[in-house]
Structure 1
Amino acid sequence: MDHSILHPFVAELRATERLKGYAEAFPAPARVSEPALPLLLASLYEELGRPLVLLAPEDQDARDAAEGAAWFLGDERVAMLPSRGVHWGSGLDPAPHLVGERARALDVLAAGGLVAASAAALAEPMPPPTARPQPLRIAPGEEISLEQLSETLALSGYERVERADERGQFAVRGGLVDVFPTTGREPLRIEFWGDEIEQMRAFSPFTQRALHPVETAVIYPAVERRLDLVEPTLRDDGAATPIPSDLVRPVPGGPDLVWQAGEVRTVWEEEGLEPVPFGKAALLDTLPAGQPFAFEAQRPALVARGLAEAENELSAFVRSGQRVVVAFPHLGEALRQQNLLRRIEAHVIAEGQELPRDAGLTFAVTPARRGFVWRDLGLVLLPDTQVFRKRPPRERRVGGRALQSFADLRSGDFVVHEDHGVGKLLGFETKEVAGVTRDYLFLGFRGDDRLYVPHEQLGKVSRYIGADTSAPALSKLGGKAWDNLKTRARESVRELAGELLALYAQRQQAPGVAYDLRHEYLERLEAEFPYRETPDQQAAIEAVKEDLEAPRPMDRLVCGDVGFGKTEVAIRAAFAVAVNGKQTLMLAPTTILAEQHWHTFRERYRDFPVRVEMVSRFR
């Protein structure tokens, strides 16, 4: 079985005498700090070698515990059992995604996994196993007809629609079945060859485009009871909804561990739920109460800072003998940050590698978003967002992007079809073809060429963005003109990309000066700014600071309209260079503007030992 990249943390804790002693004394009570809970659960699960159920007060507590344990064990062996979201007798059905999550949790538990459940989830009954829809496991090559699959999905509570874009829906289109699993992040497109699944692919619910092939999938139900076992009942208006008499507890054996038992009991009392006996469950709490075992870790007392401050914090951990692991969501981010470091070295750990035995800094690609400092183990786990300052994401407005709905267009607009070229939208029409009613875009091309584009192919159409306001030449359907045009465009883009890559490679290799931005004068200058920085202005300032701290020449263009605060960005950058003993030359297009900037810089620097001069044809 493939292990998570953070699985070595589990091996480290399992090797301690404390964990081994606790496993032998299990289910003894223990004092556990909240940051230590996920790693303790993962290590105890592997040490005991059997399924475990953790009972937590709220859904969010259970989700945090399951999510954290999955960082160390992997997603396949860990699940979260949420509450139904509605009470029995309310007349309402739980949301499909909650039904799917509950079914998956019981499936993982039956396979010997680790499950975290909330107090309400464990106390709320559900239909007996014989009445529940079973998970559907499918893969290419499996023999099942389109009709059988559709019937199974319908009995599992999936809603048949024309377009599956929400969890718990499926659509049948010709020889295809689109289904959005209740626990899936992406819908699946299942293609048949006779009574056999030929291939499966994930697709985008917005553009309906296929994304990547899928080797195997598990489709969990959208209802708690099979629809063919539901008996329709008629009741008078205002009458209470009858509660089924065959309901059973989701986990008959009860929990193995209870996190904060007092809060769990409070939830049951407030929700009016029948308590679940703790039995021989191990009671875990953050407060000391004479427990024979204790597992302590602290939350990292860090905030995202500039590169220099981050290096100081990381170096302090390493000097104190800690092995520091920083979690990044993507390999590119880890490698980029590794190249920026200049005062401390870091190496990127690969999956399956053991943690270094000596104190040092390691980068890992993992979804871990919360960290801890476990001094007894000499381990520190930090999410990258807590260590390194991130630039705020910029809103992108890209012309010509794929449309998401008919509302993005008006009749008369020029559009581009990726297969046929430039056309004009003549209108919207609804047609019935082969017994299926769909909405279509009606496009006109050169001459009398016309094309109907069904709504599920909307992702192939984008708005035309031209260099000027003149009307474009329409393409002709058929022929190779449009394909030749796309080929030439791709070649030009590829050539330009090659030139840019070569240029930026040269810039990355050019040596530069890394400036120290920890000077007290710089903090005073920023504090004396008489206005509040705008979000975009602050983002530009932070980006320029990162450039100055990097050991390469700066290559940045700051754009903005008149009066949007570009000068203040330049003032702070020039001042940072000055306090590091270097000079700055600022060029202005006119003599008047140069004099204005001269006075502005002198006014901002008047309380600091920095000299500002102006050179022009008059001075």
Structure 2
Amino acid sequence: MYTLSYHYSCDKKTGKNSSHPVTFRMHFTPIHNIIEYGFKEGRIFNLTGSAAALLFALYDRPVFIIELTDERARELCQDINFFRDSLQKDHMLFLPEPDGPSRAGERTEIIASLGPQVSLVCSYRNLGEPIWNPYEIERVSLPLQKGMTISRTAIDAQLKEMGYRHAPLVTERGEFSRRGWLLDIFPSSSDQPLRLEFFGDELESIKTFDTDSQRSDADISGFTLFPAQEPSSGTSLLEFMKGAEFFCSESIAERDRLPAETVFFSHYSMQGSGYEADVLPIRGLGILPEERRSIDDLARSIRTLQKETRVCIIASSRTQALRLNAVLRDSGTLAPVIEQLDIFSYEGAVSITTGALSEGLHLPGFLILTEKELFGGRPAYRPVKKSKVSRLLTSLDDLRPQDFVVHKDHGIGRFLGIVNQNIEGTREDLMVIEYEGGRLYLPLQGIRKITKFHAEEGFSPRIDRLGGRTWQRTKEKAQRKIRDLAEKLINVHAQREVRKGYAFSSDTELHAEFESFFPYEETPDQLKATDEIKRDMESEKPMDRLLCGDVGYGKTEVAMKAAFKAVYDGM
């Protein structure tokens, strides 16, 4: 069997230069043959599983890879970078499709970072979208540096020219707000907004701040703002990437825009003209869920395979890796959890690591399995997009004139609306709240001190007096009740400490099999909650835990795992 060796002068744990070269010995004959012969054919088929990703990860020349959809391109790039991490190579870049201000800055930043030796993955739609010419990016960007001299009026004008929109309160990418000597900007390429503080025309400080609380966080010395809009015309990606080798998914039917020398690749095993990749199928090995009756059959299949084939299992999380390790160990198979960097150099028969790989791969003498092959296709976890002001006590959209509100310091008042007034030469939006004996004018950044008054329908509260003692007495009374409740809770917990509860048994292979049937990948919070609940259940101390979460965040799955643990012990 042909063995392909790669030599790297770096430490395989840290990736840093080392005097001891690391040698990866991998049985990649089919992939090596594609690089040597397949590119000459113009078409490669049978790149099943993650074979295409491994091929592009091994290839060292700059490439431009085009997939049918944005989702497929993102997944392929993720898989390529999984392998490139393992090979200690630089990442390829993924260029998302245009989608408003939040994507415009990200796309511009990616284009600006592309050098002559950088590879790119994108969708076919991107070929018809203009991009900022790298030489124009400097003109349409705004570098900010602490201590620089620039007028706030000039920044306002340039931000508008770059596609940023003025907002009373900055909550989303592509927005800015000016209040006196402060200028809040949410860069189109960042997840954190910036707060610029001026002294005259001198930029005195640049800080990040939290959109939820509107409070400033860390100081930074500088930042480059990229446009919040796409160019109406400009360079095309085909022109920009003309120095790279072009690869295109065969799923794309429209090929008029592509250069004649483009190499097409297919994820399917259907034969035809071109180069056969000789990637082996995973079906038929007794691995797939439909090929076995229980997880015990999986362990037996792996024991059979490991006589002639190295098996590496990619788990989505450390917790799942440890579960698989326990299942295989109980069945007599040693499968240590190793670092991702070691998957090609590890000399044992079976290993497990964690990482993001969408599909497995079967080559002569080497088998990679993911949770897709072990447990069936499962939708990947995607964080639910929360409101940018989710933890603010209120937002402007929540309030209507004549609504009752509660101010943290002044108590219950009536919201009258927003007025624009001139303060020290600067126009600023202010919230107006009416109290008995006066009105409170509150800058929008003080919105975190306001909450909407809630009561049963038809109830109208008594408005507090501005500067009076009524609200202070109300808060003091509430604080006394809180202290009384805290004392009762302390007594209850003290009694719990001296009592003993039932200690449930530790998880077994059956628990792991039950949990593998859930279709969705656990969120980090689900994993944390499940582990803590199980730890409580296995303790003699009575459990006192409340599971909270928004609709659709997986509370039922966590509860079912706990219920299964209880039923397993006959409780």
Q: TM-score, normalised by structure 2?
A: 0.61
Distance in 1 separating the partners of 2:198 and 2:299: 54
Secondary structure of the structure 2 residue equivalent to 1:110: coil
Relative to structure 1, the CA distance from residue 453 to residue 12 in structure 2 (aligned partners, 3 Å threshold; closer, same or farther) is farther
Counterpart position of 1:291 = 275
Distance in 2 separating the partners of 1:152 and 1:380: 52
Is residue 406 of structure 2 the alignment partner of residue 415 of structure 1? yes
Counterpart position of 1:267 = 254
Deviation for aligned residue 1:116: 1.1
Counterpart position of 2:358 = 370
Q: Gapped runs of 5+ residues in structure 2?
A: 1-9, 17-21, 330-334, 515-525, 548-558
Deviation for aligned residue 1:27: 3.7
CA contact (8 A) 1:348 1:362 kept: yes
* Percent of aligned positions that are identical: 15
Give the letter aligned to residue 285 of structure 1: S
Deviation for aligned residue 1:34: 4.7
Secondary structure of the structure 1 residue equivalent to 2:188: coil
Secondary structure of the structure 2 residue equivalent to 1:181: coil
Is residue 63 of structure 2 the alignment partner of residue 56 of structure 1? no
Give the letter aligned to residue 405 of structure 1: L
Counterpart position of 2:314 = 325
Give the letter aligned to residue 113 of structure 1: V
CA contact (8 A) 2:130 2:231 kept: no
User: 54, 57, 65: which is aligned to 1:42?
Assistant: 57
Counterpart position of 1:157 = 163
CA contact (8 A) 2:73 2:122 kept: yes
Coordinate RMSD, CA, aligned: 6.2
- Residues 251-283 of structure 1: CA distance to partner in whole angstroms, max 9, x if unpaired? 25165242324x43x235xxxxx522142x443
Counterpart position of 1:200 = 207
User: 101, 106, 109: which is aligned to 1:104?
Assistant: 109
Distance in 1 separating the partners of 2:168 and 2:410: 28
* Structure-to-structure mapping, 1:357-396, within 5 angstroms: 357-358=347-348, 362=352, 364=354, 368=356, 370-374=358-362, 376-382=365-371
Relative to structure 1, the CA distance from residue 249 to residue 360 in structure 2 (aligned partners, 3 Å threshold; closer, same or farther) is closer
Distance in 2 separating the partners of 1:494 and 1:133: 59
Deviation for aligned residue 1:164: 3.7
Counterpart position of 1:182 = 188
User: 246, 271, 277: which is aligned to 2:259?
Assistant: 277
CA contact (8 A) 1:176 1:189 kept: yes
Give the letter aligned to residue 277 of structure 1: P
- Residues 177-202 of structure 1: CA distance to partner in whole angstroms, max 9, x if unpaired? 33333343443333446534622314
Counterpart position of 1:405 = 396
CA contact (8 A) 2:432 2:442 kept: yes
Secondary structure of the structure 2 residue equivalent to 1:113: coil
Matched length: 487
Give the letter aligned to residue 38 of structure 1: A
Counterpart position of 1:461 = 450
* Structure-to-structure mapping, 1:64-83, within 5 angstroms: 64-71=75-82, 77-82=91-96
* Structure-to-structure mapping, 1:130-145, within 5 angstroms: 130-131=135-136, 134=139, 136=141, 138=143, 141=146, 143=148, 145=150
CA contact (8 A) 1:100 1:221 kept: yes
Relative to structure 1, the CA distance from residue 431 to residue 129 in structure 2 (aligned partners, 3 Å threshold; closer, same or farther) is closer
CA contact (8 A) 2:405 2:451 kept: no
Give the letter aligned to residue 168 of structure 1: G
Distance in 2 separating the partners of 1:549 and 1:504: 13
Counterpart position of 2:413 = 424
Secondary structure of the structure 2 residue equivalent to 1:267: coil
Give the letter aligned to residue 404 of structure 1: S
Distance in 2 separating the partners of 1:3 and 1:490: 57
Distance in 2 separating the partners of 1:474 and 1:416: 10
CA contact (8 A) 1:6 1:72 kept: no
Deviation for aligned residue 1:16: 4.5
Query: Which structure: greater strand fraction?
Result: 2
Secondary structure of the structure 2 residue equivalent to 1:358: coil
Relative to structure 1, the CA distance from residue 363 to residue 17 in structure 2 (aligned partners, 3 Å threshold; closer, same or farther) is closer
Counterpart position of 2:551 = none
Distance in 2 separating the partners of 1:127 and 1:415: 48
Counterpart position of 1:513 = 505
Deviation for aligned residue 1:135: 6.6
Give the letter aligned to residue 107 of structure 1: A
